[in-house]
Structure 1
Amino acid sequence: MTFSYIVSGFAVGLLVGMTGVGGGSLMTPLLTLLFGVPPSVAVGTDLAFASITKGAGTLTHRLRGTVRWDIVKRLCLGALPAAVLATLALKSFGALNREIGVVIRYSIACSVLLTVVALVFKSKMLFWINAHPEKQLQGKSLVAATVAAGAVLGVLVTVSSIGAGAIGATLLVLLYPRMSSAEVAGTDIAYAVPLTAIAAFGHWWLGSINWSLLASLLIGSLPGITLGSWVARSMPERFLRVLLAMTLTGVAVKLMSQ
């Protein structure tokens, strides 16, 4: 089984490297559907996985100067308290019991569908917001909306481990359309580090992290991400996005039909 986990980590890393979509959208459903890992354990293990991999990514973006720390601060003001509250709610209801497992599975499915929406309609939403500059938020309204977006992402990530990738990046593009692609990527990764770390710590407290599984996934994912980043240069982005959107839609349907 360990070898299968390493291969799965490699496959997810390869797709993440090629598409830039967060690993949670792929890893958590994969663990739940293919390996029968309980939803709460799949979420907790993936959060620990994400906190490690995103930490390395943040260091790179910091060196390149592609992190907007003012926006990271705003997102964290909403996301971190929301993650703590979501963890306490899971503790109160019993994160490892069967009923909450069903809720978490549906939360994963809904988060996957939100990721599909972000993948498919991101460019159209950006075109609309740039065509209507009067609709763009400014000043205190922009700050409040960023904090609120962080809070929503904090709950999504803690409950489903999904949201800090494609969904977070799409929200950043809509709120800050003048940011460069590199700044969006760097800022999205940077705020996700403390968020996934706190959420992972919460799941450790709940007892829903499989450490041997985590190690196997990391062994496979690191070379997968490296190879995927190289392959991405020769693959049409639109084709990859459509393929990934179709795959994730099928995953969400499968999760809801169980």
Structure 2
Amino acid sequence: MEVGTWGFTVAGLVVGFIVGMTGVGGGSLMTPILLWFGINPATAVGTDLLYAAITKASGVWVHGRNKNIDWKITGWLALGSVPAAAIVLLYLKSLNAEPQAMGAVIKQALAAVLFLTAMAILFKKRLQALASRHAGDRYNLSPRTLNGLTVVTGVVLGVMVSLTSIGAGALGTVALFMLYPFLATRRLVGTEIAHAVPLTLVAGMGHASMGNMDWSLLGHLLLGSLPGIYLGSHLSGRVSDDVLRPLLAVMLLLIGYKLAF
């Protein structure tokens, strides 16, 4: 679909507004929107990855100042996610000479991750309640096992994010809560954001090295998203979370279905 540069700025504004209100939905909405606009799948993913790295970097600064980041957990996650991202990028590089094959892989992976993200958003409260209820029994893992599971979680997130630019937000937050049910919510969110920045930056630069980047598009998305996030953040809480989350989940399910079929 042909669209003027204003269309991308409006898209950034809308996505930024939703992220500001709900805290999720960045990559899971932005990448499908870019595909709808006719952007090549690989370019959409690469551009969205750097878009995410830039927009979340300010969040790291704020959360870091407020001591809302557990740097140890961030390190264990990155130990799994960054090497996994590098391996995925090498795989995509092998498909670089076949744009259609790369586009097909990215679209199918995108559909699968959108379905998972929708489920995570829809059942977030139930999963959190389950983790809290059993925090003292079967979740009583040894430090070594917990560190190992955190690295494995990082690997899964690294693969998903590098292929689709989606997963670090909703899925990452739910996974961390399941592993660390006693971690305060503000530190959980801060830790997830701190991990997302290096992951999306590495994956984004990897895609950029393959030519999967549109710098002009990135600028127009940021032009809309920064005020959008500001406005959405100020309206956060005025619309019930019980209304927003199901609507967002249904939207992601419909997008995922359209991509898969």
Superposed pair shares fold, TM > 0.5:
yes
> Aligned runs of 1:156-235 on 2, under 5 Å?
156-235=160-239
**Per-residue CA distance 1:173-224 (angstroms, 9 max, x = gap):** 0000011111111000001111011001100111000110000000000000
Q: 1:214 to 1:95 in 2, by over 3 A?
A: farther
> Normalization by structure 2: what TM-score?
0.96
Q: Which runs of 4+ in 1 moved over 4 A?
A: none
Distance in 2 of aligned mates of 1:199 and 1:183: 24
What is the percentage of aligned positions where both structures have the same residue?
A: 45
Amino acid at match of 2:138: K
> Aligned runs of 1:98-117 on 2, under 5 Å?
98-117=100-119
Tell me the CA shift for residue 131 of structure 1.
Answer: 2.1
CA contact (8 A) 1:96 1:208 kept: no
Tell me the CA shift for residue 6 of structure 1.
Answer: 0.3
CA contact (8 A) 1:66 1:187 kept: yes
CA contact (8 A) 1:77 1:147 kept: yes
> Normalization by structure 1: what TM-score?
0.97
The answer to which structure has the higher helix fraction is 1
CA contact (8 A) 1:51 1:196 kept: yes
Distance in 1 of aligned mates of 2:247 and 2:203: 30
Give the aligned CA root-mean-square deviation in angstroms: 1.0
Which structure 1 residue ranges, 5 or more long, are not aligned?
none
Give the aligned length.
256
Q: 1:15 to 1:95 in 2, by over 3 A?
A: farther
Amino acid at match of 1:176: Y
Partner residue in 2 for 1:77: 79
Amino acid at match of 2:188: V
Q: 1:178 to 1:96 in 2, by over 3 A?
A: farther
Which structure 2 residue ranges, 5 or more long, are not aligned?
none
Tell me the CA shift for residue 80 of structure 1.
Answer: 0.6
Distance in 1 of aligned mates of 2:17 and 2:150: 31
SS, match of residue 219 in structure 1? helix
